[in-house]
Structure formats: C-alpha cells, structure tokens
Amino acid sequence: MSERFDAVDVIIAKRDGRRIPDDQIDWMIDAYTRGVVAQEQMSALLMAILLNGMEPGELARWTAAMINSGQRLDLSGLSRPTSDKHSTGGVGDKITLPLAPLVAACGAAVPQLSGRGLGHTGGTLDKLESIPGWRASITTEEFLAQLESVGAVVCAAGAELAPADRKLYALRDVTGTVESIPLIASSIMSKKIAEGSASLVLDVKVGTGAFMKTTQRARELARTMVELGSAHGVRTVALLTDMSTPLGRTAGNALEVEESLEVLAGGGPPDVIELTVALAREMLAGVSDDDPADALRDGRAMDVWNAMITAQGGDPRAPLPRARERQTVDAESTGVLTRLDAYAVGVAAWRLGAGRARQEDPVSAGAGVVILARPGDAVVKGQPILELHADDPQRFERAIQALDGGVDIGPAAAQAPSLIIDRIGD
C-alpha cells in the first residue's frame, strides 16, 4: 500500500520551524503507530518539536491524532457526571487513594486510569497492589459496571487507549526529548481525554521532587494542558502545588495506603487533607453542592473506598505488608528542621525497594520512608527524624547516601511555602 505522505517532508517542515499541516499530522501518528514510519524518523521529528515547539492548533491536532490511534471510552450512559484527576507525580503523592472515593461519595463518577512508578516517584497502582487480592487490570465492561455501582475506579489503562502514546513515550525516553512541554502535554492529555470524562483536574507539581523544577515551567505545562482539554471539549482546571517537601509522612506503597486510610477515617497529615479536599472541590464544581470535607468526617468516603477495593478483588480489612527491617536516620544537631528535600526522600524510598529503575522491575510493598519530623519541627541531636523500611538490610546504606544533603537543621524555621501555589483555568 502506498502512503499519502513522506515522513522526511514532515520532519523538514518542523525542522525549519513551520507548522505541520493537519493531514500530515494525522498520517504521521497513524503511520508511526502502524510501524510504517521508522523509529529514527520519529526520533528526528520529536527532536525538531523539542527545539521549535508547536502552535496551539497544531498541538491540539497532534493530540487528537494520538487519541484517534485507539479507543475513546464513552461514559455518557452513566447515571452521574464524570470527573477525573491527574497528577504529574511526586514523592508521597498518595492523593488519588482518598480522593477518588471522596469525590464519588459526593455524587460524581471518577474514572481513574493510573500508572506505575518509575524512579523516585511512586505509582498509584503499585500502592494499591499492596492490598491483598486487589487487581489493577479489569475489562471495559467491569470498569463501566463499577463506575455505575460504586462511583469510582482506579485501574490500569487498557492497551486500546492511545496506543500511539505508548510508542512515543518509550521513544522520548531514549532520545533526549522527555522535557518538551508539547510532548509532555499531549502524552498526558491524549490518555486523559480518551478516558471519556467530562471534566479533568490537573495537579501539576513544582519543586525538587517534581518533574517540573520551576514555577515558570510548571505554569507553562499547566496552561498548555488546560488549553488542550478545552480544545477537546473537556472542562479542565490545573492547580500548581508544591513538591519541594514530600506530601504527608510516608513515601512507599503499603505505607502510603495506611496513611490514606487515616485520611479517609477523618485524620491524617494536614497537607494531605488540604490537597485532597482542594482537588475534590475542583472536581465537584458544578456537579455537587456536597462539601467533601464533610464526607471525610462522616465516613461516606471510607464506605466508597471499601466498596471500590472489594470490587477489584481486594480485602480492605486484610493487614498490609510490612518490611522486615527498619533503621532510623537521626538528627545531627539540635534546632529546627528547615528542609527535607522531596527528591532525596524519593530516591531513598526507591533504593529501599519501593520504586523501580525499569518498568519490568518488581517493587517491595512494605519498603519506604516514614517521616518522623517535618520542616518547622524542633528537633534535638540524636532524635530520629526518618524511619527507613526495607526487606533487605543491605539497602539501608545506599538509601542513607541518597539523603545526604537533603536534610537541613537551623536555628529557626523558614516560612513554609504554600502547598497550593496557583490555579489555572476557568
């Protein structure tokens, strides 16, 4: 079969800073997904996009082509309105776990297709898989039935959703093009729009533990994604949130599930509660007048959690896995803990076994870091400030090395940054 266009012409257009015509975008994504466009040709195009960017209309068409490479779920038959959330990833970011049942308890349906962790950031599916019996993979029929009956689903995305993105994502990782904002935005939004939700709230992390290190870059990414959502008929809002310090008091799979259960029971760390409720209010805007803070206090969100876990084969009453070994990291001086670097804690948790270097690597359900003191807390020399959990005690040394330079103790507390930095969207 002869092809309509030549990949080299598309590459040259973007190399020279021109807009790629719509029909060529459609063909390029389709031909690459079919294996007609070679890896080295798409690599060249990705580098040209990294260097020269994309116009808003061009990026919207690129994203649409990625969506059209597979299935788009139809959620219009559900009896309640749909709202989804996506986080760009951080350390201790367990927010999806209490958020999905909380929003469902207030009347929305939450179709949360999630992923696994890689490197220093944790994955939602890895956390939930620490619950005995829980399964990440369900059929489309099970997905829709659970959305209708329970109101919330957190599961793995099927292979039929935006298959072009899976190929492009892997290629970006080995071609030095991961940092391109148009490519990041189209990757995230193609999957999220394909999920079929009517509205989407984005949690764009900023800081050392985030993919976006500066507020300027994070704001640019957030604006780009909000514009893409609007262009495809999905009401989209983004919150820029701080990720210079880990969220909550745990980083690790079962440890974060346990902390999420505290939040659902009406307790938990103040920062986790603040962000969970703020995102829930955004997801429920125009959908429900219920205050999500009330649904945490009165137990409705916990009821939905139990139903959600049970529907996917999990036992919400079963004990969570525990790591076999523990070791503390103690304060080296007396004073006030002024900094606890999110990236350092994330790498430590990864080295303890909570994360993976490659997608196929296993993770330890019980491994991770418990934060015993947070910035602003007074500490004395020798006081435990972190507790490391691992199945293999040989992992402790490298985890402690990761924390070197990530903890500061001074005479007085610096002013803590705001957890929610900005809001972008209508």
Q: Which residues are catalytic?
A: 86, 165, 172, 187, 191
CB 248 within 8 A of CB 212: no
CB 271 within 8 A of CB 248: yes
- Give the Å distances, CA to CA, from 181 to 140, 157, 219, 299: 31, 23, 11, 40
The angle that helices 163-173 and 22-34 make with each other, rounded to 10 degrees, is: 80
Q: Which residue has the tokens 């919400």?
A: 316
Task: Tokens for 224, please give them.
Answer: 């780009």
Q: Find the radius of gyration of the CA atoms of the chain.
A: 22
**Cβ-based burial of 253 (10 A; exposed 0-12, middle 13-18, buried ≥19):** buried
d(CA 97, CA 256) in angstroms, rounded, equals: 9
The residues that bridge with 424 in the sheet, in sequence order, are: 238
Please state, as a whole number, how many other Cβ atoms lie within 10 Å of the Cβ of residue 43. Answer: 17
d(CA 25, CA 32) in angstroms, rounded, equals: 11
CB 267 within 8 A of CB 233: no
